[in-house]
């Protein structure tokens, strides 16, 4: 059954018995579709996320609402986060809606505010028009806005993000659907010979004989922007020797995505 996320940012875990940070697999943004596969008696649901290539995980069923398919102009949050209010410039109803959240207009704007449909809300909420845009910005420039953001395994927002989450979010903001994991992103992109990579391509990294474990966005050949697990923040840097030694290839993102691998 299809539901939609009803809170600004939902965290999915590997299983319902281990709800600690090492077991985070991904996050989902307000309005993201979630296919409910089963619900435990304690209220935890196993879901897959179509927008992330059917990526699986567990979250409380209370964080979901029945999905609707409303008509209306679509825009995305273009600030690092925004707040939704109960009326134009009114009472705070939902704080911290992150960058890349897809919002569907529920009617005409008023006084610089736009009414939007929110899963689980009986009435539209209002977002400042200056905080949303309908165009598709350059993914690298979107990613650059997250420079200094904290590295968080499984994170998918400016509040905390990992390497493949940064790539997924940057291309999502541009209207391009990429899967969630680095190895799936490599499968969804067109290979580019090393030495021919250009701005906006992706670098992929793996240890000898192992699967891809890291991804970064090419700024120029030999320079990338990435969520760095060693530095614990998003950085832009020339490839250090240790990173260059594990560079396995480059690829150019495409708009289609294969099904996701299951978290190990």
pTM score of the predicted model? 0.93
Q: Which tokens is 27 given?
A: 């996050």
- For residues 45 and 61, is the Cβ–Cβ distance under 8 A? yes
Rg (CA), the chain: 19
CA distances from residue 171 to 18, 90, 179 in whole angstroms, order as listed: 31, 32, 10
Angle at Cα 17 formed by Cα 11 and Cα 18, nearest 5°?
60
State pLDDT tens for residues 113-151. 999 999 999 999 999 999 999 999 999 999 999 999 999
Q: What is the pLDDT of residue 255?
A: 54
**Structural domain boundaries in the chain:** 2-66, 74-133, 139-253
Q: What is the CATH number of domain 74-133?
A: 2.30.30
pLDDT in tens, 61-94: 999 999 877 788 999 999 999 999 999 999 999 9
Give the whole-angstrom CA distance, residue 224 versus residue 128: 33
- pLDDT bracket for residue 260 (50, 70, 90): very low
Q: Which homologous superfamily is 139-253 in?
A: endopeptidase domain like (from Nostoc punctiforme) (3.90.1720.10)
Domains 2-66 and 74-133 share a fold: yes
CATH dotted code for 2-66 = 2.30.30.40
Residue partners of 99: CB distance under 8 A and separation at least 6? 77, 78, 79, 80, 81, 142, 145, 146, 157, 158, 169, 173
């Amino acid at each position: 059954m299809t539901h939609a996320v009803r809170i600004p940012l939902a965290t999915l875990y590997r299983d319902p018995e281990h709800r600690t940070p090492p077991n985070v697999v991904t996050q989902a943004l307000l309005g993201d579709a979630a296919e409910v596969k089963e619900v435990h008696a304690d209220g935890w649901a196993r879901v897959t996320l179509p927008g992330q290539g059917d990526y699986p995980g567990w979250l409380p069923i209370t964080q979901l609402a029945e999905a609707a398919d409303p008509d209306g102009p679509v825009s995305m949050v273009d600030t690092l986060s925004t707040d939704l209010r109960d009326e134009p410039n009114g009472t705070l109803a939902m704080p911290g809606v992150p960058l890349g959240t897809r919002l569907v207009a529920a009617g005409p704007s008023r006084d610089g505010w736009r009414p939007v449909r929110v899963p689980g809300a009986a009435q539209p909420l209002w977002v400042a028009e200056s905080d949303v845009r309908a165009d598709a910005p350059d993914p690298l420039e979107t990613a650059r806005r997250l420079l200094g953001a904290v590295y968080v395994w499984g994170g998918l927002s400016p509040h905390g993000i990992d390497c493949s989450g940064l790539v997924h979010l940057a291309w999502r903001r541009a209207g391009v659907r990429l899967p969630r994991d680095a190895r799936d992103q490599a499968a969804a992109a067109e290979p580019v010979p090393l030495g021919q990579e250009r701005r906006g391509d992706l670098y992929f990294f793996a240890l000898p004989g192992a699967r891809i474990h890291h991804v970064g966005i090419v700024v120029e050949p030999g320079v990338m922007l990435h969520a760095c697990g060693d530095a614990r923040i998003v950085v832009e840097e020339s490839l250090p020797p240790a990173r260059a030694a594990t560079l396995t290839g480059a690829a150019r993102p495409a708009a289609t995505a294969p099904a996701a691998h299951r978290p190990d």
